[in-house]
């Protein structure tokens, strides 16, 4: 048995299945990179996003800890005469 590969169009030199941008995608991405902030600014924003997510994780971990401590007793005491 032989496997038949489907032909793919290329987008910026990289194979893409059914690329609709007709090669304009990489050009537009490059333009946005040149218009956007430099690498140092991007690094600061990336680190800020990471720290924000770490804060969310810490809040979730604390809440899980609180809920774990609040376990209900499994039974109740009954006085038998």
Average pLDDT over residues 10-30: 72
The confidence score (pLDDT) of residue 2 equals 53
**pTM score:** 0.47
Q: Beta 14-16 vs 9-11: how paired, if at all?
A: antiparallel
Rounded to whole angstroms, the Cα distance separating 42 from 54 reads: 18
Where exactly are the structural domains of the chain? Answer: 10-69
Using one digit for the tens of pLDDT, what is the confidence trace for 23-80? 888 888 888 888 888 889 989 999 999 999 999 999 999 999 998 887 666 777 888 8
Among residues 17, 14, 44, 43, which one has the least CA distance to residue 29?
Answer: 14
Whether the per-residue pLDDT at 18 is higher than 70: the answer is: no
């Amino acid at each position: 048995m032989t496997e038949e590969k489907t032909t793919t169009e290329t987008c910026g030199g990289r194979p893409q299945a059914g690329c609709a941008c007709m090669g304009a995608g990489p050009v537009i991405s490059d333009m946005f990179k040149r218009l956007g902030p430099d690498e140092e600014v991007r690094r600061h924003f990336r680190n800020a996003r990471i720290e924000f997510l770490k804060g969310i994780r810490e809040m979730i971990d604390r809440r899980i800890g609180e809920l774990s401590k609040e376990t209900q007793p499994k039974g109740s005491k009954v006085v038998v005469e």
